[in-house]
A and B are shown apart, each in its own frame.
Chain A
C-alpha cells in the first residue's frame, strides 16, 4: 500500500472540492493512503512571493515540517500553486543552509527536509499504480478525446519543481488517460499558463489566455480538458461563460479533473466523484461514455 502525506491546500475545500472528492474516491479504490498534514496552513501562493521572500518560504516550510510528524517519506500537493511553493522550499533551503536556519527560526517545529515533495500526477502515473489502474478499469472511456492540461506550475521550471517529465510536452497524465481507454490528443497548450493568478487583477489578459487554451483544445477535437490544478480548473470552468461572451464563441467544454476521469473508468458513480460540481455541464460527455 502506498502512503503519502497530503497537503490539500485551501482550494480543495472550496473551488476545487470535486478534486478532493474524486481523489479520495479513487485512492480508496486503489488502496492509496493519504494522511492529511495536521493543522496545515495556507502556502501563501503568489501573494506571499510577490510580497516577501522569507514569508513565501516560511509558510510552506511550516507545512513540510508538520508533515515530518507523519509516518511517511513523501508529501503531495494536488494544487500546482501549492506544489510550486513547497518545491521552492526544497530547492532554496536545500542549497542554502543560512537561509534554512533563518526560516527555521520562525517556526515552532524545524523543517529538516526528510519528507520529500512528490509530483501529484505521479502518484497515479508511476509504473506500478498505472498498471494497477489498467487492471482495475471497469468502464473503459472508449472514444473519449481528452486534452491533457498540466498547467504551468507543476512543470516549470523542471529543475525547481522536481518534474520528472518533459516540461514542453509532458506525458504522465496522457499515459493515465490512455490506460483508462480514452484517447489523449496531441495539442500545443498542455503547459501554457491560464492566467489564474491575474483573475482578480487583470481579467482581460486572463480571459485571453483561457480563450487560447479552450480554442486550441476544441480545434484539436477534444471532448473535454482534463485538469490537474484547482486554480486552472476553476479558471477554465467557471470563467468559460465570460470568455464565450467576450469572444462570441460557444465552447461548452467540460473541464473535469483527471482524478474524476480515473474514477469514471473505475466504475465509480459520477455523483460520488463530484461531477455535478462542475460548472460546464459534463452531461454530453457522460452520455457519450454511457454512464448517464
Chain B
C-alpha cells in the first residue's frame, strides 16, 4: 500500500496556510485530530466549528471558512488547548493569528462587539497610559449604539469605591503614543 498524504493542502490557499504556520510558529501539520483541545475548551459549546476542526480546515486550506467562523471570536485565550495538546501545538496562539488575519481581511461579521471593545480599551491606554474603565465603557457603548449596556455595574462599582473617576496620566505618554503609532498606525 502506498503512502497516503492526509495533509494535502488545496493548492489555491497553500500560501495562506504557510503564512499561518510561519507567523504562529506552530506546525499545525503535526495535528492528528485527537480533539483534546475541543474536549477541554470552555467555549466550544458556543462555537460553529470546534477547535480541532479549525486546525483540520486550515490544513485543507479552507481560508474563508476559517476566517469567517464564529469560533475564532469565541476563543477566550485560556490556553487549556495549548496546555493539553499532545502534539505541542499552541492552538490558542494560532487563534490569535487568525483573529488578526480576519480583521485585516475584513471578515468581522461575528467580531463587531469584540473589535469595538478592543478598540475602546486600547484608545484609553493610548490616550492615558492606563485603562480608564468609564471612558472605555462610554466609547464602546457609543460605537455599538447601545447606551445602557453594562450600566447595571456602574453604580454598584461607584458605591464600593471601585470606579476611577478621572484617568491617571502617565509621564511616559509620548513613549506610549510612539509604541501605538509604530505598531497599529496610530490606533483607531
Contact = CB atoms under 8 A, between A and B. Distances in A.
B122 interface: yes
Given A55-B184, A195-B76, A205-B46, A279 B178 contact: no
Contacts of B78: 152-153, 156, 193
A164 interface: no
Contact of B125 (A41, A53, A277): A41
Nearest to A278: B160
B121 A195 contact: no
Interface string A200-228: 11101100110000000000000000000
A51 interface: yes
A22 B82 CA distance: 33
A202 B42 contact: no
Interface residues of A, number: 52
Interface string B95-120: 01101100100000000011001110
Contacts, number: 149
B122 A51 contact: yes
A201 B172 contact: no
A117 B139 CA distance: 34
B100 A51 contact: yes
B176 A49 contact: no
A192 interface: yes
Given A42-B129, A55-B180, A55-B184, A202 B46 contact: yes
A10 B131 contact: yes
Contacts of A200: 113, 117, 140, 149-150
Contact of B162 (A15, A40, A46): A15
A233 B43 CA distance: 19
Interface of A: 10, 13-15, 17, 39-42, 44-55, 58-59, 62, 106-108, 152-153, 155-158, 160, 167, 191-193, 195, 197-198, 200-202, 204-205, 208-209, 238, 242, 277, 279
